[in-house]
Amino acid sequence: MEAEAQPLIQALGLKEDAPPKIVGPAPCVTFSGEHDGLKVHVVWNGKDRDTGVDNVGTVPASLSTYLAVMAFKPDVVISAGTAGGFKAQGAAIGDVFLGTAVINHDRRIPLPNFDKYGIGYSLCLATPGLQEALSLKQGVVSSGNSLDYTDKCMEIMAQHSVAVKEMEAAAIAWACNLYHVPLMCVKAVTDIVDGDRPTSEEFLENLHAAAAALQGTLPRVLSRLAGRKMSEL
C-alpha cells in the first residue's frame, strides 16, 4: 500500500523513476536511490484504475515483482510491509519480524501434489546475524487474498507455526524463485490475528504506526546488507 511505501521512500530519500523503469499498462510505480553505497529500489503496486484504491493481494505483488526483477536485476528482494501478528508466536503491535519462510494459507487444492503446490512453502534468505544485531523477531509469513480468514486458514497457519499474516510475500517468493533471487521479508505488526478485536478496525488504527516502525527498521537492515556477502547475514 502507498501508506506502507511512502515512509520508506522518504526515509531512504528515493526519487520516482522518470522516465518509468516499468512502463504501462502495468500500474506499479518505482523509486530509486542509494543507501550506504547500495542501489535501492522501492516498488509500489500503484492504484486500481476503476476504484482508485491501492492494488493489494497476490496478483499485483507477483506481477510487480516479476517486472521489477527484470528491470533492476536485484541481488536480493525485500518484501517490506505490514502484517497481522499472532500473539501465540510472540507478536505485539509494532513488532518487526524477519521472515524465515513463506506459505499460502488460502490456496487449498486437495489433490495429489497440488496440495503441496497450493501451500507453496518457500524458505526466505537466512539472516541470523541481522536478526541478532537488530533484535528483531522472526517467524513464518503467511499470505492470502483476504483481510479476514476462515477456520481452515487458521488451521493451516497453526500447522505451519505462522508468526505473521499478510497479502503478498508468498506471491513475491514465487516470482523471485523463477529468477533464483533470494527473498527477505520485513513485516511490522498492525493487528493481532488471534486477539479479541476485529482485524479491520485494528489494522486501520495501527497502520501508520506500523509503517513508521518499518521506516525506522529498513534503513538499518540495508546498512547491515551493505558490503556483506549473503553468507554473512
How far apart are the C-alpha atoms of 77 and 168, rounded to whole Å? 13
Could you say which of 4, 54, 106, 168 is catalytic?
Answer: 4
Sheet containing 15-16: order of strands: 15-16, 29-35, 38-44
Q: Which long-range contacts (CB under 8 A, 24 or more apart) does 48-57 make?
A: 54/1, 54/2, 54/3, 55/27, 55/28, 56/1, 56/167, 56/168, 57/145, 57/167, 57/168, 57/171
Could you say which of 106, 191, 194, 232 is catalytic?
Answer: 191
Residue 4: active-site member: yes
Taking the CB of residue 15, how many other CB atoms lie within 10 A of it?
9
Residue 194: active-site member: no
What are the catalytic residues? 4, 191
